[in-house]
Amino acid sequence: MSHPASCHRTWFGLILVAVLVLAASPVRAQSGPSFSVVSASVDPNPVSPGVNTTIAAAIKNSGSLGSGIVVDMEIYDSSNARVNQQVLGGQTFASGETKTYQWSWIPPANQPSGTYTVKIGIFAAHWTELYLWDGNAATFTVQANGPVVAFGVGTITASPTAIPSGGTVSITAPVTNTGGNPASGIIVLLQLTDPFGNGFEGNEQAVGGQSFDPGQTRMYAFQWQAPPGAAQGAYTASIGVFSSDWSQLYAWGTNSSAFTVGTAQQPTFTIGATSASPTTVARGQSVTIATQVTDTSSVPASSIVVQCELNNAADSQNIMWQAARDLTFSAGQTRALAFVFPIPSDFPPGNYTIDIGVFNSDWSTVYAWGYLVATFTVQ
């Protein structure tokens, strides 16, 4: 579906203008989001190569509502070279809210021993602004002592890649012993999640008692039959490699769109009542845009993006924008959303308008567009 003609601009130009304006803007007023890392930990510590490591962090927003937030976790070795990065986008923090995040990292079999540092960054949507960078959130040690058990999961494929309800799909993947020692009692697990990221009855299959020579690769194939009434859309297939008692996760691979079930109906949306509060705002304060978005179709929808644009009323030029990402709607559901725009102290006075757009996860499809749905004035 093409972008509404009334917008009179391409998305490339829109994003470029937004980035340039945000890059030139002063730091957000104190009424905006304000983040801190309350605590961070690594378990186990020390960790051996090939052993699953859990990094946990509690992150607090002491400021106002933050939506579309990007949480970035990075691991660096003693020479300050980055060895791992994991990013979570589309996060929402209420004022005063603390959220706990967990990431998994399996150091490769050849990971050097030494001290490693966890660094955490908090960014505005699309990385347009850095709210927090904690360059020493946690430290831990990699210790390559004794026999190393390590595995790798290759490309996960499905055949066929599309099935009807009641159809059967075969999921295959190679599993390789990347360590230098034989391994026995290994469990290989298949885990499926539906188009909305949920598990379901019969979504896991496992084969145990597997043995591998050093460097050996074994192919695994699992069969799954979609029951009548299975959710339609793209399914995620993951393969995990565990120790005999499930206590150690050696490897985890994922194909986030391995196959589809049925012919998924495209959702439809409408944008409801939208308001700006206050309608007259002083520079250095904030304006809150409240809106309602409804899934008007008969199917649920996931990974939805709702974007709020602030435009100059005189020439319709985009000044700022925010986005709430990874939203999930049930059929017919209405969600209330709020976007808070801090107004910099040197912001030009005048009248401003608001546009609201509803998109798929990569902005390639626009489901609904609300043009000039609210106005406010900067004194």
Ranges of H-type helices in the chain: 11-24
CB 52 within 8 A of CB 327: no
Q: What is the pLDDT of residue 147?
A: 61
HSE-up of 200 (CA within 13 Å, CB side)? 17
CATH top-level class of 266-378: mainly beta
Q: Cα–Cα distances in Å, from 252 out to 30, 81, 181, 189, 369? A: 41, 23, 20, 9, 39
Domain limits, CATH 2.60.40.10, in the chain: 151-261, 266-378
The whole model's pTM is what? 0.47
From first to last of the 379 residues of the chain, give the pLDDT tens digit: 333 333 433 333 443 334 333 333 333 334 578 999 988 889 888 888 888 899 999 999 988 888 889 999 999 998 889 999 998 888 889 888 889 898 989 898 888 888 899 999 999 888 888 899 999 899 888 987 666 678 888 899 999 999 998 999 999 999 999 877 899 999 999 999 988 778 899 999 999 999 999 889 999 999 999 998 888 888 989 999 999 999 888 888 888 779 989 876 678 999 999 999 999 999 999 999 999 999 998 878 888 999 999 999 888 888 899 999 888 898 899 999 999 999 988 889 999 999 999 998 878 788 999 999 999 999 9
Of 343, 347, 377, 349, whose CA–CA distance to 31 is shortest? 343
CATH architecture of the region 151-261? Sandwich (2.60)
- Separation between Cα atoms, residue 190 and residue 220, nearest integer Å: 9
Q: Which amino acid is at 353?
A: T
Q: What is the pLDDT of residue 116?
A: 92
CATH top-level class of 35-142: mainly beta
Q: What is the pLDDT of residue 186?
A: 96
Q: What is the pLDDT of residue 25?
A: 36
- Separation between Cα atoms, residue 67 and residue 323, nearest integer Å: 7
Domain limits, CATH 2.70.50.60, in the chain: 35-142
